[in-house]
Amino acid sequence: MKITLAETAGFCWGVQRAVDIVLDVSKKSGKPVFTHGPLIHNNQVLEELESKKIHEYKSGDIGSNTLVVRAHGIRPEVLDELKSKHKNVVDATCPLVTKVHRAIKKHQDQNFQVFIMGNEKHPEVVGLLGASKDRAIVIRDAIAAREYPQTFDKICLVSQTTQNDDDFEATARELKLKCKEFKAVNTICEPTRSHQIEVVDLALNNDLVIVVGGKHSSNTVHLKEVAERQGTRAIHIETEAELKKEDLLGVEKVGVTAGASTPQWMIQKVIDKLESFEEANKSLLYKFSKFILNTLVSTNLFTTTAFASIYLGNHIVSKTPVDYNFFWSVISIVFALHSINQFSLEGKFDRRSKLTPKVYEFVRKLISWFSFLLLFFGVSFGFYSSSIGSDLKGFGIILFSALCGVLYGWKIIPINWISRFGFSSIRDLPASKDLSVSFGWTLLSCGVPLAYSSGNLSPVWFLLIPFIFFIVYIRSAILGVRDAQGDRIVGIESSFKALGKNRSKKLVFSLIGASVLISLCLFLPFFGVSPVFGFLMLTITFVSGIIAHLYFQRILPANDLGHFLLDSQFVLPVFLYGILKLLGYA
Ligand code: SF4
């Protein structure tokens, strides 16, 4: 069975913006945050937000907590009332909805009778009606327009942002007959239009279209209708649990799309379920390999192996003998810090996990404790290794890295100072995750060997240090793209969120270009690097480029495979070089 995922499936720009605003306020204030109405029409996302103390506002005083107006917008007088009652009100109304508010006011001022095509009970339409001071007329569709009993001098038609272009045109044709002067302002938003164009394409090229999203989400319901209009069977599900094997009987090609309030991780779960139907027929070897891949990636074991490969690779390039005491010390620290930041500080149940919340919590605690123990072991072993050589420089670097790594997610700024500084931990700073990982990996993989071989300083380190920094930054930035496109709760700590898609893409490809140049320089005889290893290093930059392209184009799924491929590019060169050396070819 061929599965095709719509390119723009999932969170639209406006919903993503509202979620980001709420998470940002929650993070900066460290207090519960309230939203005016459910933030989005998706029960699973709402549950996740609840677990982060982001609640729907019911009534009463919220003190100094913040109230956020959701993407749908609200009636202007309600917004004014909220602002007069509460100290902190943040308006996260989608700018494309605000544009409709403005269009309504402008045309009313020009004496047009405004018609709004949409669902009068939908919160966005309630807000639009408010913008018209309840003078606009809401109609569902062309039939309602035809049957409307009255005529007017001037009519202006606008639309709820999540309606359909064909319906809008049909409604406009009917209303034109009811006035002397007619104006249609098509306010259907571009993300909705892209979703609908894609669903037509999916319907025309597949036997079945699966639409994932909240049952109350208007744009999700429309997607199903648009697919069915092409004569293709379509089903609307909220979660993967509703998907039955019988739905797929006789289906060879299935298209998957999702409403604007559906996170990517829910879409991924649906795709996983579809694949699991297929996997029942897959070999034991395939299932076993997939299990091993997921385990290696999710436990940070493969990430640590990638770091170990960089560490050993630096020794191969610089021809520095490996001190295995230090090696085990830094390996333990890298594993521990990644696990602490992933399991201990991020906390909370990860809904993408296949474990139940209870089991997840148990595993999380177990890994957290083990990681702190390992960190202690790594630092102590670093001290022991340094003291053998009676030079504490290596230990100093290890201790500094360990402290920075632990402090990364810790709230180091007191709550009442947060608004003054604008952040509470290092993690809240733009691109901090990518910068910290690159800085930490470079410090441990270059700084420690340099510390214990200071008598043998090779000029190749001048190339190696920026090269390692760049390729680790690229790796981390690409993982950020994967996480953001998978709607993991990623904040400005990732370059993707801090810089936006276009600028982070430019940055990643510029760094890849710089890494290619550096690795070409390594071929100069002056540096004495083995041409075989130089070539293997060059492949890292090309593999990074390909994976980055696949993620920016959303071709690779937001699962563990991309992570595995990214880290393999560091592991394979060292592994292959070892084999070639054993065989006498390097
Ligand atoms: Fe904004 Fe359109 Fe998304 Fe509504 S569907 S929040 S108008 S981008």
pLDDT tens profile 202-234: 999 999 999 998 887 778 888 999 999 999 999
DSSP string, 90-115: EE---HHHHHHHHHHHHHHHTT-EEE
Helices within 443-558 (DSSP H only): 448-452, 461-485, 495-499, 501-521, 531-552
Tokens of 335: 């594993």
Tokens of 242: 């509703």
Contact status, residue 177 vs residue 203, Cβ threshold 8 Å = no
Does 367 contact ligand 1 (Cβ within 6 A)? Answer: no
AA letter at 304: T
Give the pLDDT score at 563: 87
End-to-end CA distance of the chain: 45
Query: Given 47, 50, 120, 124, which residue is catalytic?
Result: 124
Atom index in ligand 1 nearest the CA of residue 95 equals 1
Q: How many residues does the chain have?
A: 586
Give the pLDDT score at 186: 96
Nearest partner of 136 among 164, 117, 151, 123, judged by Cα: 117
Does 191 contact ligand 1 (Cβ within 6 A)? Answer: yes
Does 97 contact ligand 1 (Cβ within 6 A)? Answer: yes
- Please state, as a whole number, how many other Cβ atoms lie within 10 Å of the Cβ of residue 430: 16
Give the pLDDT score at 356: 59
CA of residue 275 to ligand 1 center, whole Å: 31
Given pLDDT bands bounded at 50, 70 and 90, which one contains residue 491? Answer: low
pLDDT tens profile 396-445: 999 999 999 988 877 666 555 544 555 566 777 778 888 999 999 999 99
Give the pLDDT score at 475: 92
Does 39 contact ligand 1 (Cβ within 6 A)? Answer: no
Note the pTM of the prediction, 2 decimals: 0.63
Of 11, 189, 193, the one to substitute when testing ligand 1's pocket (max ligand atoms within 8 A of C-beta) is 189
In sequence order, the β-bridge partners of residue 138 are 116
Lowest mean pLDDT among 115-119, 179-183, 481-485: 481-485
Q: Catalytic annotation on 346?
A: no
Mean pLDDT (the chain) is 86
Ligand 1: residue whose CA is nearest its atom 8 = 14
Strands lying side by side in the sheet with 54-56: 54-56, 33-36, 66-69, 88-91
Does 15 contact ligand 1 (Cβ within 6 A)? Answer: yes
CA of residue 28 to ligand 1 center, whole Å: 25
DSSP string, 130-197: HHTTT-SEEE-SHHHHHH----EEEEEEEE-TTS-HHHHHHHHHHHHTTEEEEEE-----HHHHHHHH
Atom index in ligand 1 nearest the CA of residue 190 equals 2
Does 94 contact ligand 1 (Cβ within 6 A)? Answer: yes
Angle at 460 between CA 459 and CA 466, to 5 degrees: 115
Does 193 contact ligand 1 (Cβ within 6 A)? Answer: no
Q: How far apart are CA 60 and CA 402, in angstroms?
A: 46
Does 18 contact ligand 1 (Cβ within 6 A)? Answer: no
Ligand 1: residue whose CA is nearest its atom 1 = 14
Is the predicted pLDDT of residue 118 greater than 90, yes or no? yes
Give the CA distances from residue 354 to residues 76, 338, 382, in Å, rounded to whole numbers and listed in that order: 43, 20, 37
CA of residue 297 to ligand 1 center, whole Å: 35
pLDDT tens profile 255-284: 999 988 888 778 878 888 888 887 767 788
Of 8, 11, 13, 122, the one to substitute when testing ligand 1's pocket (max ligand atoms within 8 A of C-beta) is 13
Nearest partner of 553 among 507, 508, 516, 501, judged by Cα: 501
pLDDT tens profile 10-20: 788 888 888 88
